């Protein structure tokens, strides 16, 4: 018993000493949901942040712990986090607790992204950090099955369906892959690609006949899609193992395939539908919480991250593209060159129909995504009736838009007051 | 015989502990399930949870998984424990091997079993090597939830039987050998000795093992997500979704209370089913 | 006397050859069942990135240590490993220190509130930790426990406590009270009787539940990721990005997490196994 007590006391003492040691440090804690994969985190520390004048402690974490920690610091009124790095969707719900960053120089930063970063206020709540979008990738083996006359750089959804069908029939197993897994970014496909391509809308025409057609087309595509897709979240994995030959995903989630075997894969734009080639740029922002221990140092780090040289290193480390105008050197990784070219073709195409990330939803952003994911799971996975599901989900969507009072954004036509759902 | 306060003194450290590190945060979270941000009592969060189209599926899946996994594990662990006990040599080695999964987290177990079941995984490689299939088949397909269920079942049995085993082996070690010797004298066979001596004497350990396993089975998540993706929603997964994706802490708290409720009910059921009558207590 | 004689199912050599084959067969199958998945993990860990993505998979590793080397050189892995060990050790001590007395009380005394206590202990396991992390983190930041080994160990102790209490409870319940009573009549007081008679009997079992505590703490990610910043444990440090890392690193990372735990169980196996010795003493 006595021995036990001593060990206990020793343990307590260790804990307390460590506690004291922790408080003395002056590093900026960079709390990020991005660059989580171990190699990217390593590259962020070694190549990107090592050039900063001060010390940075880069800690990437999953959404759950990330959010919990930020919330806890906000509630406690003090904290350790110096800089937050996360998706628009996560930062939008923290709006009230982010410091204004209007005083940071933002020369050359895309103005549409800067506007997004205001989160519907008149302050610069976050500053764009890096951007990405979604494209298609294919194994070169798949190209011989392309439908006659189809141009891979100007594909339509009908051609994609035919292509997927031919591949499934010729090879005996479905070779199209879709990131429908738990961490897959499927909602962005429906919001930014399918809906704009078929309805020229993301919200207003949610339950329109055009939308019904789109979902039926998607169901058709799904029947030639690898049935393991509900387990796929990073299509680079299945492309590399050749479980699938053709896939849609986020550029950063295809990068490993392009970098590992650049000669075996091609990158190309997302397909087009009746109302154009819908696509959606996504943005990752950096923000400083009100509770940052050293506001000046945090803002210095934000400025550093926006420098062109840092942005290029960040691109190398994470496969996310710069938000400022930079001249890319020639020695960029294969993934950057390949997806860069595909993005340029996509946004430069005559029928390009870019959509914007949802704005003004506050902490309802997650529920907004859920409307699309639920529709997918009910229509496609559970095989429920398209009309019924769309009517159901449209009610949920309308309620959300009204609760948030969010006006429409592109490609929907700007609205007075909450964006209507017809 | 002893001061009336003795049991309470013995319980004091752990109770204090639980009050600060469990009851306090628990109270705050549970409160959210009943009260809106503006302080109104409401049942709307439970209604919202219940009316969500995934609730019933997640609930059923969780219960079904627990029902399939736990009894299987208990029987397997009982069998393994009697095997270990009947061993003359090599007991240490065998028991070490069988307890290896103790140290393996559910996340790691998910990674391991996905490598086996994925389309280009080891199972397909093996079947192709033996000529059963011509090309890799999709084993974890959304069209075949039964197979996914089976894969999760296997992975869970693999991962978490060891803990039941250790508890049962420890319990068996405490059964006095005289009981068996006496039974042998009366000519009781092996099966009879197992059912008449081992099982009844093992009740406290069985109870402990089952309660702990059932409770953990209701919180199953990492393995299910690794193998089932979005195909097989479970309650714990819904909690993550509501708390972190949908950022609705109220409904997440309601879900958590559901898990708590079914866990406590099962605990009480097991406590009652495997109770040791007072006079029989040794 | 044959050692096997004292065990429940009786000596094996007494049975016929068929049942002996059956016995050996069952033991071998069960060993394979446990070992093969771990072997496959090692195959993937020790294969080159290309081999991990190929199909069909090879049954033998190439002994390519590239992926493992990545983790060995990963900045901060050593520190994280050390933090994990510290947190797990403190958890182990705290959970046994608080849990074993409670287990003894539950097994030996009838008192008001006994069942309430048992249910309370179990509730800690039945309520999802990720939701508790937020109020705990707020509390920690306010009282200064934030980002400390001790703070995290305290949370892990709540997770391990039900195991410690229930396992020690069933161990104590298995020891006849007559043993203690005999010691009392021989002039021992309650405390002496406990130390001299009961403790030696249950020590191995207590060691086993301490091992559980260690393993529970070792594998816990969520609270560790929220409550520690500079003192991150290995899972919190590594696992955050593992699921989304390239395949070969995913497997190597899995192995990095699994191997220390295997080693630990190997080192303490003596305590797990000495449980047999007791009944015969």
Tokens of B211: 């309660």
Q: What is the CATH number of the domain that holds A83?
A: 3.40.190.10
pLDDT at residue C274, as a whole number: 55
Interface mutation vs chain A, best among B110, B123, B148, B230, most A CBs within 10 Å: B230
Interfacial C residues in 202-231 facing B (CB < 8 Å) = 204-205, 208, 211-212, 215, 218-219, 221
Spatial strand order in the sheet of A81-87: A56-60, A28-32, A81-87, A282-287, A127-132, A321-322
Asked if the model's pLDDT at residue C235 lies above 50, the reply is: yes
Q: Please answer whether residues B208 and C167 qualify as being in contact, where contact means their C-beta atoms are separated by less than 8 angstroms.
A: yes
- Supply φ then ψ for residue B231, to 5 degrees: -75, -30
Q: Does C134 touch chain A (CB under 8 A)?
A: yes
**Is A173 in Cβ contact with B120 (below 8 Å)?**
no
**Which member of C44, C132, C211 has the closest CB to residue B25?**
C132
Q: Provide the β-strand partners of residue A278.
A: A353
Percent of chain A, pLDDT > 70? 94
Asked if the model's pLDDT at residue A233 lies above 70, the reply is: yes
In whole numbers, what is the pLDDT of chain B averaged over residues? 90
**Which member of B53, B54, B229 has the closest CB to residue A231?**
B229
ω into residue A98 within 30 of 0, thus cis? Answer: no
3-state secondary structure chain B: CCCCCHHHHHHHHHHHHHHHHHHHHHHHHHHHCCECCCCCECCHHHHHHHHCCCHHHHHHHHHHHHHHHHHHHHHHHHHHHHHHHCCCCCHHHHHHHHHHHHHCCHHHHHHHHHHHHCCCCHHHHHHHHCCCCCCCCCCCCCCCHHHHHHHHHHHHHHHHHHHHHHHHHHHHHCCCHHHHHHHHHCCCCHHHHHHHHHHHHCHHHHHHHHHHHHHHHHCCCHHHHHHHCCCCCCHHHHHHHHHHHCCCHHHHHHHHHHHHHHHHHHHHHHHHHCCCCHHHCC
Query: Which chains border A (3 or more CB–CB pairs < 8 Å)?
Result: B, C
Q: Please answer whether residues C120 and B35 qualify as being in contact, where contact means their C-beta atoms are separated by less than 8 angstroms.
A: no
User: Are A318 and A250 within one domain?
Assistant: no
Question: Please, which residues have CB within 8 angstroms of residue C212's CB and are 6 or more apart in sequence?
Answer: B102, B163, B166, C160, C163, C164, C167
- Supply φ then ψ for residue A250, to 5 degrees: -65, 140
pLDDT at residue C278, as a whole number: 40
Interfacial B residues in 137-196 facing C (CB < 8 Å) = 158, 163, 166-167, 169-177, 180, 184, 190, 193-194
Q: Does C48 touch chain B (CB under 8 A)?
A: no
Domain ranges (residues) in chain C: 3-69, 76-242
**Is B136 in Cβ contact with C279 (below 8 Å)?**
no
Q: Does C245 touch chain A (CB under 8 A)?
A: yes
pLDDT at residue B174, as a whole number: 76
**Which member of A11, A29, A71 has the closest CB to residue C90?**
A11
What's the gap in Å between the CA of A231 and the closest CA on chain B? 4
Angle between helices C129-143 and A63-76 (to 10 degrees): 40
User: Are A138 and A80 within one domain?
Assistant: no
Contacts of A226 in chain B (CB under 8 A): 119, 138
pLDDT at residue C191, as a whole number: 85
Query: Which chains border C (3 or more CB–CB pairs < 8 Å)?
Result: A, B
CA distance C275 to C202: 8
User: Are A184 and A108 within one domain?
Assistant: no
**Is A16 in Cβ contact with C229 (below 8 Å)?**
no
Complex ipTM: 0.89
Q: Does C101 touch chain A (CB under 8 A)?
A: no
Burial class (CB in 10 A: 0-12, 13-18, 19+), A206: buried
pLDDT at residue A9, as a whole number: 46
Q: Express each pLDDT in B192-220 by its tens digit.
A: 888 888 898 888 889 889 998 999 999 99
What's the gap in Å between the CA of A65 and the closest CA on chain C? 5
- For residue A222, being part of any structural domain is answered with yes
Mean pLDDT check: name the lowest of A259-263, B107-111, C208-212.
C208-212
Q: Express each pLDDT in A67-122 by its tens digit.
A: 999 999 999 999 999 999 999 888 988 888 999 999 988 888 888 889 889 887 88
Q: Does C148 touch chain A (CB under 8 A)?
A: yes
Give the range with max mean pLDDT: A220-224, B142-146, C113-117: A220-224
CA distances from B20 to B270, C91, C139, C140, C201 (A): 28, 16, 10, 11, 32
Number of domains present in the structure of chain A: 2
**Is B21 in Cβ contact with C158 (below 8 Å)?**
yes
Tokens of A407: 């006006």
How many helices (H) and strands (E) are present in chain C, helices listed first? 14, 0
Q: Does C33 touch chain B (CB under 8 A)?
A: yes
Contacts of A76 in chain C (CB under 8 A): 137-138, 141-142
Residue in chain A nearest B226 by alpha carbon: A231
Asked if the model's pLDDT at residue A16 lies above 70, the reply is: no
Interfacial B residues in 197-216 facing C (CB < 8 Å) = 197-198, 201, 204-205, 207-208, 211-212, 215-216
**Is A181 in Cβ contact with B247 (below 8 Å)?**
no
Contacts of A22 in chain C (CB under 8 A): 147-148, 229-231
Using CA atoms of B71, B75, B76, B78 in order, give the dihedral in degrees to the nearest 10.
140
Interfacial C residues in 42-71 facing A (CB < 8 Å) = 49-50, 53-55, 70-71
Mean pLDDT check: name the lowest of C94-98, C119-123, C143-147, C271-275.
C271-275
Identify the domain containing residue A252 by its residue range: 134-281+355-404
Q: Please answer whether residues A175 and A246 qualify as being in contact, where contact means their C-beta atoms are separated by less than 8 angstroms.
A: yes
pLDDT at residue B1, as a whole number: 55
What's the gap in Å between the CA of B172 and the closest CA on chain C? 8
pLDDT at residue B241, as a whole number: 93
Q: Does A369 touch chain B (CB under 8 A)?
A: yes
Contacts of A369 in chain B (CB under 8 A): 245
User: pTM for the whole thing?
Assistant: 0.89
**Which H or E element spans position C83?**
helix C77-108
Domain ranges (residues) in chain B: 23-280
Residue in chain A nearest C191 by alpha carbon: A1
Composition of chain C by helix, strand, coil, percent to 5:
80, 0, 20
CA distance A73 to A67: 10
User: Are A255 and A394 within one domain?
Assistant: yes
**Is B229 in Cβ contact with A230 (below 8 Å)?**
yes
Write out the CATH class of domain C76-242: mainly alpha
Mean pLDDT check: name the lowest of A17-26, B92-101, B247-256.
A17-26
List b or e across A53-78, with b for residues whose CB sees 16 or more CB atoms inside 10 angstroms: eeebbbbbbbbbbbbbbbbbbbbbee
Question: What CATH number is given for B23-280 in this structure?
Answer: 1.10.3720.10
Mean pLDDT check: name the lowest of A47-61, A114-128, C264-278.
C264-278
User: Are A83 and A165 within one domain?
Assistant: no
* Secondary structure (3-state) at A408: coil
User: Are A207 and A287 within one domain?
Assistant: no
Residue in chain B nearest C131 by alpha carbon: B29
pLDDT at residue C197, as a whole number: 84
């Amino acid at each position: 018993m006595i021995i036990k007590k001593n060990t206990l006391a020793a343990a307590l003492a260790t804990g307390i000493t460590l506690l004291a040691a922790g408080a003395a440090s002056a590093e900026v804690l960079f709390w990020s949901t991005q660059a989580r994969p171990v190699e990217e985190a390593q590259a962020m520390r070694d190549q990107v942040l090592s050039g900063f004048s001060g010390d940075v402690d880069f800690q990437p974490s999953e959404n759950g712990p990330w959010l919990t920690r930020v919330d806890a610091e906000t509630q406690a009124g003090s904290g350790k986090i110096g800089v937050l790095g996360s998706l628009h969707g996560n930062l939008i719900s923290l709006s009230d607790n982010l410091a204004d960053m209007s005083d940071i120089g933002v020369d050359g930063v895309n103005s549409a992204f800067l506007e997004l970063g205001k989160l519907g206020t008149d302050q610069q709540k976050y500053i764009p950090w890096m951007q990405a979008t979604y494209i298609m990738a294919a194994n070169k083996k798949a190209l011989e099955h392309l439908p006659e006359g189809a141009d891979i750089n100007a594909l339509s959804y009908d051609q994609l369906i035919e292509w997927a069908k031919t591949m499934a029939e010729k090879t005996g197993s479905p070779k199209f892959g879709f990131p429908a897994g738990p961490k897959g970014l499927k909602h962005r496909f429906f919001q930014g690609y399918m809906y704009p391509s078929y309805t020229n809308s993301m919200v207003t025409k949610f339950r329109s006949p055009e939308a019904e057609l789109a979902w039926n087309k998607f169901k058709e595509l799904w029947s030639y899609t690898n049935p393991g897709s509900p387990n796929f979240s990073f299509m680079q994995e299945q492309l590399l193992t050749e479980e699938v030959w053709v896939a849609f995903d986020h550029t950063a989630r295809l990068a490993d395939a392009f970098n590992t075997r650049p000669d075996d894969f091609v990158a190309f734009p997302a397909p087009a539908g009746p109302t154009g080639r819908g696509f959606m740029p996504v943005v990752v922002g950096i923000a400083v919480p009100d509770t940052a221990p050293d506001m000046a140092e945090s803002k210095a780090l934000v400025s550093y991250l926006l420098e062109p040289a840092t942005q290029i290193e960040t691109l190398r480390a994470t496969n996310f593209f710069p938000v400022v105008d930079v001249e890319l050197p020639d020695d960029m990784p294969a993934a950057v060159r390949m997806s860069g070219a595909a993005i340029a073709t996509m946004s430069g195409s005559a029928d390009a129909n870019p959509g914007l990330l949802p704005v003004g939803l506050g902490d309802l952003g997650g529920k907004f995504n859920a409307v699309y994911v639920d529709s997918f799971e009910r229509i496609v996975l559970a095989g429920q009736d398209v009309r019924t599901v769309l009517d159901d989900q449209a009610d949920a969507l309308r309620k959300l838009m009204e609760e948030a009072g969010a006006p429409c954004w592109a490609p929907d036509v700007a609205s007075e007051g909450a964006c209507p759902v017809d | 015989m002893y001061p009336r306060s003795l049991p309470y003194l013995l319980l004091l450290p752990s109770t204090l502990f639980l009050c600060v590190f469990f009851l306090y945060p628990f109270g705050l979270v549970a409160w959210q399930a009943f009260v809106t941000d503006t302080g109104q009592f409401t049942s709307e969060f439970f209604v919202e949870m219940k009316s969500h189209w995934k609730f019933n599926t997640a609930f059923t899946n969780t219960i079904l998984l627990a029902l399939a996994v736990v009894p299987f594990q208990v029987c397997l662990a009982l069998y393994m424990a009697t095997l270990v006990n009947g061993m003359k040599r090599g007991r240490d080695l065998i028991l070490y091997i069988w307890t290896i999964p103790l140290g393996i987290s559910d996340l790691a177990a998910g990674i391991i079993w996905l490598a086996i079941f994925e389309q280009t995984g080891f199972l397909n490689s093996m079947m192709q090597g033996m000529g059963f299939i011509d090309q890799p088949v999709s084993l974890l397909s959304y069209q075949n939830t039964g197979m996914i269920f089976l894969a999760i079942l296997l992975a869970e049995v693999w991962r978490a039987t060891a803990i039941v085993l250790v508890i049962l082996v420890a319990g068996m070690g405490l059964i006095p050998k005289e009981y068996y010797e006496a039974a042998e004298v009366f000519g009781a066979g092996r099966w009879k000795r197992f059912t008449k001596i081992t099982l009844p004497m093992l009740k406290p350990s069985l109870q402990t093992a089952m309660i702990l396993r059932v409770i953990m089975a209701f919180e199953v998540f990492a393995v299910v997500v690794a193998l089932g993706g979005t195909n097989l929603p479970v309650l714990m997964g819904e909690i993550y979704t509501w708390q972190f994706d949908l950022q609705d802490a109220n409904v997440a708290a309601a879900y958590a209370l559901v898990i708590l409720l079914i866990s406590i009910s099962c605990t009480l059921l097991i406590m009652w089913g495997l109770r040791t009558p007072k006079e029989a207590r040794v | 006397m044959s050692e096997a004689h004292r065990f429940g199912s009786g000596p094996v050599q007494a049975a016929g050859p068929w049942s002996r084959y059956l016995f050996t067969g069952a033991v071998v199958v069960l060993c394979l069942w446990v070992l093969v998945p771990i072997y496959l993990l090692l195959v993937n860990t020790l294969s080159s990135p290309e081999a991990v993505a190929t199909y069909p998979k090879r049954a033998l590793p190439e002994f390519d240590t590239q992926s493992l080397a990545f983790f060995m050189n990963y900045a901060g892995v050593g520190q994280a490993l050390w933090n994990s060990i510290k947190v797990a050790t403190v958890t182990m001590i705290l959970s046994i220190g608080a849990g074993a007395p409670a287990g003894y009380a539950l097994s030996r005394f009838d008192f008001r509130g006994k069942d309430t206590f048992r249910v309370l202990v179990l509730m800690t396991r039945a309520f999802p930790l990720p939701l508790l992390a937020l109020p705990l983190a707020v509390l920690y930041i306010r009282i200064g426990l934030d980002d400390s080994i001790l703070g995290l160990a305290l949370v892990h102790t709540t997770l391990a406590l039900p195991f410690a209490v229930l396992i020690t409870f069933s161990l104590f319940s298995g020891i006849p009270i007559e043993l203690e009573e005999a010691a009392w009549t021989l002039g021992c007081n309650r405390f002496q009787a406990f130390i001299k008679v009961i403790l030696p009997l249950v020590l191995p079992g207590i060691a086993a539940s301490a091992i559980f505590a260690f393993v529970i703490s070792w594998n816990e990610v969520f609270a560790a990721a929220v409550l520690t910043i500079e003192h991150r444990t290995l899972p919190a440090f590594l696992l955050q990005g593992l699921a989304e890392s390239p395949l070969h690193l995913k497997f190597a990372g899995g192995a990095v997490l699994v191997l220390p735990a295997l080693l630990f169980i190997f080192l303490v196996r003596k305590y797990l196994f000495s449980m047999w010795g007791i009944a015969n003493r």
